[in-house]
Amino acid sequence: IHETHFPNSLSSLSVDTENLQKQIDELSSFSDSPAPSVTRILYSEKDVSARRYIKNLMAVAGLSVREDAVGNIFGRWSGYEPELPPVSTGSHTDAIPYSGKYDGVVGVLGAIEAIGVLKRSGFKPKRSLEVIMFTSEEPTRFGISCLGSRLMAGSKGLAEQLKKTVDSENVSFFDAARSAGYANVEELSTVSLEKGSYSAFVELHIEQGPILEEAATHIGIVTAIAAPASIKVDFEGNGGHAGAVLMPQRNDAGLAAAELALAVEKHVLASGSIDTVGTVGILELHPGAINSIPSRSHLEIDTRDIDEKRRNTVIEKIHQSALSIASGRKVKLSEFRIVNQDPPAISDELIIKAAESASEVLKLSYKKMISRAYHDSLFMARVSPMGMIFIPCYKGYSHKPEEFASMDNIANGVKVLALTLAKLSLV
């Protein structure tokens, strides 16, 4: 695909930055935590408001809107060869507790605006363009990341698993979905996409790291997405009175958890590569009283690497540590569950080239890079050629209220996305 394919109408792309900023701010107001933080959990009342807001924006942009059984939302702009597999784009709008207002949102609102930019320029797509807002990219409520895109990618076990999944308040996935208006949520099989449903999927997202800002580079073109994994662990001991039980008689589930958390760090650092990462983002002690020896502990471990084998070796070592800590401390390892152990995803060459030439046409600097954060693109790559476009974010901050992306950077990302979608729609 060469510049010659670019109808000259595309040379003057104008992003409605005022409206886009207003939308980002309005969307951030649907939150269960005080500004500037955002908390928007799957199927919560705030999530439902955000869904209604996005569906309305899609309709106003002239897209035909539909939703699937779990609430993945699709807005389609029909091309002049509508029978061809469309080009898709999109991201998520759910937000983990006390996070920011750009993660995911830039790729949904920015995609709708990219369509607006193309429409205003007089461009006519050959392949339809479809914006997708994925249900629940974050694992917060049910512990499963990229729930909507996993199901679309046809994750077998997940549909079964969801039938018996409950949240921390014991609300089942199905009841939660129904409370948000998804009455036929049981029809999970209707969510998975036929291979070839899309000719391409491109996601615009903030980098969630400092590389682009430090390199003063406008655009990141993602070549691969790191392989994420998450593990849930429970230890059980006898608990007891924090003063009366002497140390030799104790089997402290809290200290077992602490020792395992440090073991995670030890194994990650010993992997031999800077690309291996790991943390314990959730650590709960029961009964959680200062003068009661923890009788139960619950940890949730997140470990990732761009090399899948190296990551799996770390998971093995973490499991060995859990077993030896349990026997050493005479506590019971009542759960060691690998919730997800996903392969990495490689971006499609054609999409990388389209994003490169779009950046060149727009005279924007760009650099190729891997994504250490996971995204719905990781799963869309299983059913469609995939690509991602990154924009810089302030100090690389993300998953916290200080997350910020300037409208200049967002507008650059929207223009590169618009041109990339235009190119891919003419293929």
Interacting residues with Mn ion (CB under 5 A): 103-104, 234, 298, 335
CB of 42 to ligand HGY, least distance (A): 13
Residue among 132 and 373 whose Cβ is closer to ligand HGY? 373
Cβ contact 142:165 at 8 Å: yes
Binding-site ranges for ligand HGY (CB under 6 A): 137-138, 373-374
CB of 92 to Mn ion, least distance (A): 6
Residue among 115 and 381 whose Cβ is closer to ligand HGY? 381
CB of 23 to ligand HGY, least distance (A): 21
Cβ contact 12:118 at 8 Å: no
Paired sense of beta strands 332-341 and 366-371, if any: unpaired
CB of 426 to Mn ion, least distance (A): 29
The rounded distance, in Å, linking the Cα atoms of 228 and 44 is: 26
CB of 398 to ligand HGY, least distance (A): 7
CB of 371 to Mn ion, least distance (A): 10
Instruction: Give 216-267 as a DSSP string.
Output: T-SEEEEEEE-EEEEEEEEEE----BTTTS-GGG---HHHHHHHHHHHHHHH
Contacted by 298, from Mn ion, ligand HGY, none: CB < 5 to 8 Å by type: Mn ion
Residue nearest to ligand HGY (CB): 373
Q: Which residue has the tokens 């389609």?
A: 76
Residue among 82 and 281 whose Cβ is closer to ligand HGY? 281
Residue among 118 and 206 whose Cβ is closer to ligand HGY? 206
Note the Cα 155 to chain centre separation in Å. 16
CB of 12 to ligand HGY, least distance (A): 34
Distances (CA, A) of 14 to 40, 56, 180, 249, 341: 31, 22, 36, 71, 42
The rounded distance, in Å, linking the Cα atoms of 255 and 233 is: 13
Residue among 79 and 239 whose Cβ is closer to Mn ion? 239
Name the token pair of 369.
Answer: 């890079």
Cα torsion angle, 352, 355, 358, 364, sign: negative
43: left (phi over 0), alpha (psi -120 to 50) or beta: left
Contacted by 234, from Mn ion, ligand HGY, none: CB < 5 to 8 Å by type: Mn ion
Residue among 138 and 203 whose Cβ is closer to ligand HGY? 138
Contacted by 413, from ligand HGY, Mn ion, none: CB < 5 to 8 Å by type: none
Contacted by 374, from Mn ion, ligand HGY, none: CB < 5 to 8 Å by type: ligand HGY
**Among 73, 72, 70, CA closest to 61:** 73
Distances (CA, A) of 402 to 99, 269, 393, 405: 8, 28, 10, 10
Residue among 86 and 209 whose Cβ is closer to ligand HGY? 209
